[in-house]
Amino acid sequence: MATNNEAERPVDPIGEQEQPTTKDTPSADSDTKRKAEWKEIDDEKNTNVYVTGLPTTITEDEFISLMEKYGVIAKKPIHGEPKNIKLYKNKDGTLKGDGLCKYQRKESVSLAIDLLDGYQYDHEHVIHCEKAKFEPKASYDPSKRPRLDPNIALKQRKRLKKVYSWEPEDRPEHRQKKVVLKNMFTVDEITDDPSLILTLRTELEQRCVRELEVEPKRVDVYDANPDGVITITFAEPEQAQRCVHAFSTNYPCLDVELWDGKTKFKVKETDEQVEKRIEKFHKDIEGPEGGDGCDDSKPELDGETTHSSPSSLPPIPTPNESAET
């Protein structure tokens, strides 16, 4: 039982004891059998606090509001799952001025004791808070305990395990391996020069190796997307996060983010775009002034011809150049 300076009051731990499976209950005159039915609560698992000094006019809602300032209050594993609190009453139904509260986690017990014990509730009441201790009273009859619903108790345990095992690293975005780059090109640039698709793909692959020391699994250019979208897929989420950080820092003109796992970037070409692309294709085949489209000029030996666009990535300085500047 929870004890204080007043006379000891028998207290039954809320929701801790399971309903006995046997139909035979101990007789009222058998202390030995009664104590055999009692189960001590492991101190490490005891998340109950005993509060005294409460006004006798306090309501359950007011008591809950007071106690949940220090932690999440557990719920009873019964229908409706009410908050696991109790205000003790006299035989005539009036409140005695003390109560019991069970928290979800033991850290809340320490917090409640540290901050609530000695708290001036109003000009007449000073609250005392301590960790609850339980003992069976002489008339303890386990058969009169409220029957707990094992299915509700199981659901509560699963729900709490999911809540308290959650960490930021477990969030979906931290498992994402795909990076989305926007403003990489315009649709007109791709239409005028389709080879820019390969140029951008190759350029990004090289920059991932150069800046991140990682070779991406694939680079996809969504040439018909008006936002100029390119996605880079990595083998590990950590690599994708590094890419977002590096590219966001080095190329502020780009919109760089992890893929949300839902957005689709493939855009169907309009009839006008299809017609324009076909027309461009025929012109390339025919060549200038009705030629056969073949370029008989010899390639330059002193340099490499590359395709670029106004929105292509800026040159990247080598580590030595960065150090010198």
What are the start and end residues of each CATH 3.30.70.330 domain in the chain? Answer: 48-131, 173-258
pLDDT of residue 135: 73
Q: For the whole prediction, is pTM greater than 0.75? A: no
* pLDDT tens digits in sequence order for the chain, 325 residues long: 444 444 445 444 444 443 334 344 444 444 544 444 556 677 788 999 999 999 999 999 999 999 999 998 988 877 777 888 999 999 999 999 999 999 988 889 999 999 999 999 999 999 999 999 877 666 666 666 666 677 777 776 676 666 555 555 445 556 789 999 999 999 889 888 889 999 999 999 999 999 999 999 999 999 889 999 999 999 999 899 999 989 988 888 889 999 988 899 998 877 777 777 777 777 777 765 555 555 544 444 344 333 434 444 554 444 344 444 4
Cβ(231)–Cβ(179) under 8 Å? Answer: yes
CA distance 157 to 211: 46
Residue 275, φ and ψ in degrees, nearest 5? -60, -40
CATH number 3.10.20.30 is the correct assignment for the domain at 173-258: no
Q: Measuring CA to CA, which residue among 177, 180, 249 is closest to residue 214?
A: 177
Both structure tokens of 44:
């490490």
Residues 6+ apart with CB under 8 A from 132: 2, 11, 13, 46, 48, 49, 50, 100
- Dihedral sign from CA coordinates of 89, 95, 96, 99: positive
Q: Measuring CA to CA, which residue among 181, 200, 188, 204 is closest to residue 276?
A: 188
pLDDT of residue 287: 63
pLDDT of residue 23: 42
pLDDT of residue 140: 60
- The C-alpha angle with vertex 299 and arms to 295 and 300, in degrees rounded to 5, equals 140
pLDDT of residue 307: 40
Q: What CATH number matches the domain at 48-131, 3.30.420.40, 3.30.70.20, 3.30.70.330, 3.90.1150.10?
A: 3.30.70.330
What count of other Cβ atoms lies within 10 Å of the Cβ of residue 177?
19
